[in-house]
Amino acid sequence: MTEFELIQTYFTRPKPGLSRATLGVGDDCALLHPPRPGMQWAVSCDMLVAGQHFFEDVSPQLLGHKALAVNLSDLAACGAKPVAFFLALALPQADETFLQGFSTGLHALADEFECELLGGDTTRGPLNICITVMGEVPQGQALLRSGAQVGDDVYVSGKLGDASLALAALRGEPGVQLGAQALAELRPALEQPQPRVALGRALRGLVHSAIDISDGLLSDLGHLLQRSQVGARVQLDALPCSTHLRQQAPQLQQRCLLAGGDDYELLFTAAPSQAAAVQAAAHQTGVPVTRIGCAQAGLQIWDLQNQIPSTNFCGFDHFAG
Amino acid sequence: MTEFELIQTYFTRPKPGLSRATLGVGDDCALLHPPRPGMQWAVSCDMLVAGQHFFEDVSPQLLGHKALAVNLSDLAACGAKPVAFFLALALPQADETFLQGFSTGLHALADEFECELLGGDTTRGPLNICITVMGEVPQGQALLRSGAQVGDDVYVSGKLGDASLALAALRGEPGVQLGAQALAELRPALEQPQPRVALGRALRGLVHSAIDISDGLLSDLGHLLQRSQVGARVQLDALPCSTHLRQQAPQLQQRCLLAGGDDYELLFTAAPSQAAAVQAAAHQTGVPVTRIGCAQAGLQIWDLQNQIPSTNFCGFDHFAG
C-alpha cells in the first residue's frame, strides 16, 4: 500500500455538508473559511508516543479515540467548539488492521464533535501521533489559565485518579487492589477519556480560570495558579473519587488523585457568587462538578485533619528527574 | 530540566509587535485573531522522523531550519504568506546542546518569514518533529494542484536533484562522483532548503496549478496531473541541473532529477500567454524559473531523442514496496 492509498483509504472522507474548509485533504495546504464573525480560533497541538502515552498493544480503535480526545480536551479547557484537525502519523509499517481500527476510533470521536479532518502527514517511523486541533470561541470569551482570584472556589469535573489507577494495575504495580471486573470498569477512564467540551463551553462567562488535567491535579493546578499568581487550599477528602480508588491504600489513593495523569477533566475557579450557575452548567451538560477548595495566598493540600506537604506529590513531567 | 523549563528556555519568545495571536505559548490553546478581511487560512502539517528524513547526527541548527522550511514550502505552493506555526517535538532526552541548536535554526527561519511560534507540545520519545503551519492567502486566490490545463507550460523553480545527489554521496552510494568541495556546495540543498514563499505569492493570479516538489519531480508532477486530470510532456534535457549533477553518470543524473526527494522547489503550470509574467515574477523574487514541458493528454518524459518510460522512475513513498 502506498502513502497515497493509505491516506485515500483511511483518512479521506466525504466532505460534510457544513465543511469549514474550501479545500481539505489532498493539496499542499487545507484552506479554511475565516471564523464566523465575532469568533476567534483556538489552536492546540498534542503528540502521543508509543510507550510513553500508551501501551504498544493498545486497541488501535481506542488509540484513535484517545489521540483526538486529548486534543479536544485542550479545546474544552478554553471553552472552544471543535472545528477541524490535522493528523500527522508515523507508523513502523502500513498495518491495515491497525489503520482500520485507529481511523475508526478517530473518525467516530471526530463525528461526535463535528470536528473535520482537513489534512496532515503520514510517514514511516516509530509509532507517533501528532494532532493539531482548531476550535472557535467568541472573541474575548476563551477560558484562560490566568484569571484565578483569591477567594475563588476551585472545582474539578468528573472523577480523578481512575486512569492512573488503571495504569498502575495494567503495569502490575505492587499494592494495587483491583479485580478483573473493577479493572474493566476503570480502563475506559485511561483508554477512552471523554473530552469535556460541552462543559467547557457552558462555563464561558462563569469562571475566572480553567485548565484541563492531563499531568495530574497538583501539576496542572500548579500551572493554573502560577499563571494566575495565586495559591489554593485543596481539601483532599473532597476530591471526587471512584469506589474502586477509595478502596486502595491511602498512599496509592493520594498519588492517583493528586499526581495521576490522564484524567482529562476540567479544573477551574469561579467566584463563590457563581456557585449555582456552575452547578447549573454541570447539570445541563451531564458532567458532575465538585468544589475541592478555594484560591488563597499559598498552595496547601489538606486531609481531614492535617496539611500535607504538596511536595510529596508531583505530576507527570516528560523530562524531569 | 523539566518540560516547562525546556519550553520556557527554548521555545518561548517575546511577543512580536504585530503578533497575530491574543494568546500564545503557555495556555491550553493559542488564540488567534481572525485572518484579515478577505483572507483565508492555509494550513499544512509535516512530520520529520530521524533516520527517515534526516541523519541522526545532522547539525541541530540545520534540522531546526529544515523542519520549518518543509512546512513553509507547502505554504509557498499555495501562494500563502506564513503567519504562525505549532511545534510538537519528541526527544530521547532533554539535550541542551541539541535544543540550543535546533531552536536557533528554527527561530532564525521563522523570523525571516515573520512566522510566529504559537504553541505545541514536547514529550520524550524517538526524535520526531511535527510542525503545523498557518498562512494567509486572499480568498479564492490560493494556488491549487487541480487547475492545470492541456496546453499549459510546465515550470519548475531553482534546480532539481542536488539534494538527492548530496544524500547519495553522504550515504556513500557507489558511482557518485563528487569531491569534498563539491559535496560541501551541494549539502545546503539537502540540509537547508529555501522555501519559495516569495515566488509562490508572486505567482498568484498567473498560474493554473502548483505543488512543491518534496518526493521527486515525477511523483509530485503525477499528483498535480492526477488532480488536474491532464498529462504532460517533460523534456529531460530542459530540467534545471547543477554542474555537479550534470557530471554524474546518466542513470544517476536522471534518478536525481526525476525521482530525487527534498528539492522543495515549486512545480507549476501556466498558460503560454503568461510566460512573460511568470519570468517577471521569477526575476522580481530572485528565483530562476525554467519551462520544462507542457501539459497534454498523457505523461511522457523525453530526452533529446527518445521517449523514456516514466515507470523507470518513481518518487519517494514512505510505505511503498
Rounded to a whole number of angstroms, the CA Rg of chain B reads 20
Report the candidate in B291, B264, B148, B135 with the shortest Cα–Cα distance to residue B207: B148
Q: What pLDDT does A319 receive?
A: 57
CA atoms of B31 and B128, how far apart (whole Å): 25
Q: What's the grid cell of residue B191?
A: 540540509
For B4, name the nearest residue in chain A, comparing CA atoms only: A317
Cβ neighbours, 10 Å, residue B243: 9
Backbone angles phi, psi at A17, to 5 degrees: -60, -35
Q: What's the grid cell of residue B63?
A: 534540522
b/e map of B78-90 (b: 16 or more CB within 10 Å)? bbbbbbbbbbbbb
**Spacing of C-alpha B108 from chain mean position:** 17
What's the whole-number mean pLDDT along residues B47-74?
A: 92
Please, are residues B131 and B87 in contact by the beta-carbon 8 Å criterion? yes
Backbone angles phi, psi at B184, to 5 degrees: -60, -35
Q: Cβ B31–A4 below 8 Å, yes or no? A: no
Q: Cβ A6–B30 below 8 Å, yes or no? A: no
Q: What's the grid cell of residue B48?
A: 520529520
Please, are residues B264 and B213 in contact by the beta-carbon 8 Å criterion? yes
More confident call, B81 vs A306: B81
For B36, name the nearest residue in chain A, comparing CA atoms only: A34
Q: Cβ A49–B123 below 8 Å, yes or no? A: yes
Report the candidate in B9, B3, B11 with the shortest Cα–Cα distance to residue B30: B11
Complex ipTM: 0.89
Which of A47, A211, A318 lies at the smallest CB-CB distance from B3? A318
CA atoms of B241 and A215, how far apart (whole Å): 52
Q: What pLDDT does A321 receive?
A: 42
Q: What pLDDT does A266 receive?
A: 98
Rounded to a whole number of angstroms, the CA Rg of chain A reads 20
Angle between helices A60-78 and A180-191 (to 10 degrees): 60
Whether B312 has a pLDDT exceeding 50, the answer reads no
CA atoms of A184 and B89, how far apart (whole Å): 33
Three-state secondary structure call for residue B23:
strand
Annotate B204-266 with DSSP letters as a single string.
TTT-SEEEEESS-HHHHHHHHHHHHT-EEEEEGGGS---HHHHTS-HHHHHHHHHH-----EE
| Look-up of cell digits 484513535 | A64
Q: What confidence tens digit (pLDDT) does each residue in B116-140 have?
A: 999 999 999 999 999 999 999 999 9
pTM of the model: 0.91
| Look-up of cell digits 504559537 | B118
Q: Which residues of chain A have pLDDT under 50?
A: 312-314, 321
Q: How far is A305 from chain B (nearest CA, A)?
A: 33
Q: Cβ B144–A211 below 8 Å, yes or no? A: no
- Amino acid (1-letter code) at residue B75: L
Instruction: Find the largest Cα–Cα distance for chain B.
Output: 63
Three-state secondary structure call for residue B280:
helix
Q: What pLDDT does A101 receive?
A: 96
Q: What pLDDT does B20 receive?
A: 72
Mutation target among B9, B29, B43 for the A interface, most CBs of A within 10 A: B29
Q: What pLDDT does B314 receive?
A: 45
Lowest mean pLDDT among A124-133, B219-228, B310-319: B310-319
Backbone angles phi, psi at B135, to 5 degrees: -130, 175
Residues from chain A that touch B211, judged by Cβ atoms under 8 A, are 28
Q: What pLDDT does B274 receive?
A: 97
Cβ neighbours, 10 Å, residue B250: 9
Q: Cβ A126–B49 below 8 Å, yes or no? A: yes
Q: What confidence tens digit (pLDDT) does each residue in B133-190 have?
A: 999 999 999 999 999 999 999 999 999 999 999 999 999 999 999 999 999 999 999 9
